[in-house]
């Protein structure tokens, strides 16, 4: 009986998967936080830690994938359990990408070295705070199966995009006036770009959580015929 399982084993496997995903998420949050701190304060130690965390996150991705696929193959889950596993498979990809973006930020910090720093742009700071908040909220929404919170994350994405546009235009103006500081300003633009991507991944996570909890797909809603959903899973 290949599909047979005692529910306790299955339950503990799902719990393990959830714990695994959350540990990975926690590492991503930490990685983002440390990389931003490294970019603002400049610390070789922090940069090294971000890179170490990224290796751990990469390992997490493989382990979580394996765990999810094994459960999927052996237990053949249905309904909510199946949605959790499908979500897990997508979640790890987003989390892994967030880890990579954190490394990118740390690398910009590395390039800047101990040289003169651009006074951290207020909009960049806001972006950093908001992005981290989004990531935290997205993972909290996953833990609590909280649709409202996931919805908030989706809404916050627009604010991040706005801040990104502002940071971009203001930094461009700064570059035009201070050509000698273009390398430093480029760092700011890049970090803003990475933050914007992290916010996108956080939004993806929130959407995946909505799918997991409510069973309907909210991605690319505008391109979809009304009434189309994945409730049948």
Partner 1 sequence: MKLGIRGRLFVLSLGVIAVAVAIMNAYVSTELRSAIEERMAHDIAIRARLVGHQVETAPAGTDWQAYAEELGRQALARATLVAADGTVVGDSEVARDALASLENHGTRPEIVGALQNGLGEATRTSATIHHELLYVAVLVTPPSQVRVVRLAQSLAPIDTAVARAHHLMLVGTIFALALAATLTSIGSHFVAKAIRTLRTTAVAMLDDLSVRTRMRGTDEVGALAEALDQLADNLNRTVQKLGNERDRLAGILETMAEGVLLTDRTGRVVMANASLRIMVGATGQLVGKEPIEAIRSDELAEMIDSVTRSQKPRTGEVDLIGIVPRHVLVRAAPLTVRGNLGVVAVLSDVTDLRRLESMRRDFVANVSHELRTPIAAIRAAAETLEGGAKSDPVAASDFIGMISRHAERLHHLVEDLLELSRIEAQKLDLKPTTVEVAEFIEHMIGLYALSASRREVLLLAGRCPDGLTFATDRRALEQILSNLVDNAIKYAAPGASVILSATERGDDVIIAVADTGPGIAAKHLPRLFERFYRVDRGRSRDVGGTGLGLSIVKHLTEALGGHVTVESVPGQGSVFTVFFPRNRATALSEVAPQPRSDNAGLPH
State the residues that interact with partner 1 by CB under 8 A. 15, 18-19, 22-27, 29-30, 33, 119-120, 132-133, 136, 139-140, 143-144
Q: Which residues contact 197 (CB under 8 A, 6 or more apart)?
A: 97, 101
User: In terms of CB distance, is 115 or 226 closer to partner 1?
Assistant: 115
Measured CA to CA, the distance from residue 24 to residue 5 in angstroms comes to 27
User: In terms of CB distance, is 19 or 69 closer to partner 1?
Assistant: 19
Shortest separation between residue 91's beta carbon and partner 1, angstroms: 14
Shortest separation between residue 36's beta carbon and partner 1, angstroms: 11
Shortest separation between residue 217's beta carbon and partner 1, angstroms: 25
> Where do runs of H (alpha helix) occur along 76-181?
79-112, 122-144, 147-177
> How many of the other CB atoms lie within 10 Å of CB of 222?
4
Shortest separation between residue 143's beta carbon and partner 1, angstroms: 5
> How many of the other CB atoms lie within 10 Å of CB of 93?
15
The CA angle 169-172-174, to the nearest 5 degrees, is 110
What is the residue-wise DSSP string for 37-72? Answer: HHHHH--HHHHHHHHHHHHHHHHHHHHHHHHHHHHH
> How many of the other CB atoms lie within 10 Å of CB of 177?
8
Return the closest-CA partner of residue 200 out of 130, 125, 106: 130
Shortest separation between residue 21's beta carbon and partner 1, angstroms: 9
User: In terms of CB distance, is 59 or 70 closer to partner 1?
Assistant: 59
Shortest separation between residue 78's beta carbon and partner 1, angstroms: 23
Measured CA to CA, the distance from residue 25 to residue 22 in angstroms comes to 5
Tell me if 112 sits within 8 A of 187, measured CB to CB.
yes
User: In terms of CB distance, is 24 or 153 closer to partner 1?
Assistant: 24
User: In terms of CB distance, is 33 or 93 closer to partner 1?
Assistant: 33
User: In terms of CB distance, is 56 or 229 closer to partner 1?
Assistant: 56
């Amino acid at each position: 009986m290949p599909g047979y399982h005692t529910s306790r084993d299955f339950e503990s496997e799902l719990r393990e998967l959830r714990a695994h995903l959350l540990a990975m998420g926690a590492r991503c949050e930490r990685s983002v936080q440390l990389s931003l701190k490294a970019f603002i304060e400049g610390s070789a130690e922090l940069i090294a830690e971000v890179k170490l965390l990224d290796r751990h996150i990469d390992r997490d991705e493989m382990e979580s994938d394996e765990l999810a696929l094994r459960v999927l193959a052996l237990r053949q889950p249905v309904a909510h359990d199946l949605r959790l596993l499908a979500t897990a498979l997508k979640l790890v990809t987003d989390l892994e990408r967030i880890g990579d973006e954190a490394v990118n930020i740390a690398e910009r910090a590395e390039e800047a070295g101990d040289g003169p720093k651009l006074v951290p742009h207020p909009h960049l700071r806001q972006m950093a705070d908001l992005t981290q908040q989004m990531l935290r909220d997205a993972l909290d929404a996953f833990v609590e199966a909280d649709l409202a919170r996931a919805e908030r994350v989706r809404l916050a994405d627009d604010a991040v995009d706005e801040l990104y546009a502002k940071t971009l235009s203001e930094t461009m103006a700064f570059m035009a006036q201070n050509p000698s500081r273009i390398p430093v300003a480029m760092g700011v633009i890049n970090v803003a770009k990475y933050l914007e991507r992290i916010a996108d991944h956080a939004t993806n996570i929130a959407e995946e959580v909505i799918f997991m909890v409510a069973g309907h797909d909210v991605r690319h809603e505008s391109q979809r015929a009304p009434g189309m959903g994945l409730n049948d899973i």
